[in-house]
Amino acid sequence: MTIDLTQRLKDRVAIITGGASGIGFATARRFAEEGAFVVIADVDPATGEKAAAEVGGAFRPVDVADEAKVNTLFDGVAEEFGRIDIAFNNAGISPADDDSIETTELPAWDRVQDVNLKSVYLCSRAALRHMVPAGRGSIINTASFVALLGSATSQISYTASKGGVLAMSRELGVQFARQGVRVNALCPGPVNTPLLQELFAKDPERAQRRLVHVPMGRFAEPEELAAAVAFLASDDSSFITASAFVVDGGITNAYVTPL
């Protein structure tokens, strides 16, 4: 029997939130290259439509913090395409007013929790509604390496939200393991995305303070994270669930980095 490893996701239907840019868009391209039909869900119709056209998929507008809109997204895709095989719950924000606990006010805290954590709860629940009856599915939730270690340059709500994503993914992975649905948390290190570029362009010293801790001496490229997500979405990871899948250039295991 010959297995075409370039078509691991052939005929599968995938939903990617935050799919119009960064890790989400790189993953959309990778999924499409491996044979999946990709539904890009994003808040921005202009970039979302363009991204969907580039990967030969579909675009659906969504506010991931709105329960009704999330349900409409997942139920609509399942009805239109007959299945949902993969949910990459990736949408997230990291606004400037989320900083130290001493200066971050409640509105900033709540906004980050809504987009980064509540959305994963809503999207996972909506995906499970279709995956459990089918007896199959892979959910990948974007957490972060900051869910695994502390930082003196804090973004307090972001860090807390990603810790919540990791804990929730672990619990869902255990809960639904015998029903054929795998749930894993992707934990990226710093990634060269528009979000990171915007943040660090304003403060090069802050960027360098982070970069020095990465043993590989560079930030990840979105395509490197996309490769990890494609693995978790595919049957190559069929015995992996409830995991913190770390792709961080070694940062979470480093004490002193190379010169």
Is 48 inside any structural domain? yes
Is 258 inside any structural domain? no
Which residues lie below 8 Å from residue 152, measured CB to CB, with a gap of 6+? none
User: With 80 as the cut, is the pLDDT of residue 196 above it?
Assistant: no
Is 224 inside any structural domain? yes
Residue 74 CB-density burial (10 A; 0-12 exposed, 13-18 middle, 19+ buried): buried
Is 252 inside any structural domain? no
Is 1 inside any structural domain? no
| 137-142 and 86-89 beta bridge pairing | parallel
CA contacts within 13 A on the Cβ side of 112: 24
Is 18 inside any structural domain? yes
For 149, the token pair is 């270690």
> What distance in Å separates the CA atoms of residue 229 and residue 34, rounded to the nearest whole number?
12
Is 2 inside any structural domain? no
Contact by Cβ (8 Å): 84, 78: yes
The pLDDT value given to residue 195: 66
Q: How many domains does the chain have?
A: 1
Known catalytic residue at 158: yes
The pLDDT value given to residue 155: 94
Is 126 inside any structural domain? yes
Residue 187 maps to which CATH number?
Answer: 3.40.50.720
Of the listed ranges 68-77, 148-157, 189-198, 212-221, the least confidently predicted one is 189-198
Mean pLDDT over 215-226 rounds to 94
For 37, the token pair is 């039909």
User: With 60 as the cut, is the pLDDT of residue 103 above it?
Assistant: yes
Lookup result for tokens 């770390």: 246
**Can you give the residue range of the structural domain that contains 147?**
7-247
- Choose the catalytic residue: 25, 59, 88, 158: 158
The pLDDT value given to residue 2: 64
Q: Could you tell me how far CA 203 lies from the centroid of its own chain?
A: 25
CA contacts within 13 A on the Cβ side of 123: 35
Contact by Cβ (8 Å): 103, 91: no
User: With 80 as the cut, is the pLDDT of residue 200 above it?
Assistant: no
DSSP letter, residue 5: G
Which residues lie below 8 Å from residue 257, measured CB to CB, with a gap of 6+? 212, 213, 214, 215, 217
User: With 90 as the cut, is the pLDDT of residue 39 above it?
Assistant: yes
User: Could you read off the pLDDT of 106-139 as tens digits, one per residue?
Assistant: 999 999 999 999 999 999 999 999 999 999 999 9
User: With 80 as the cut, is the pLDDT of residue 207 above it?
Assistant: no
Q: Among positive and negative, which fits the CA dihedral 98, 160, 238, 87?
A: negative
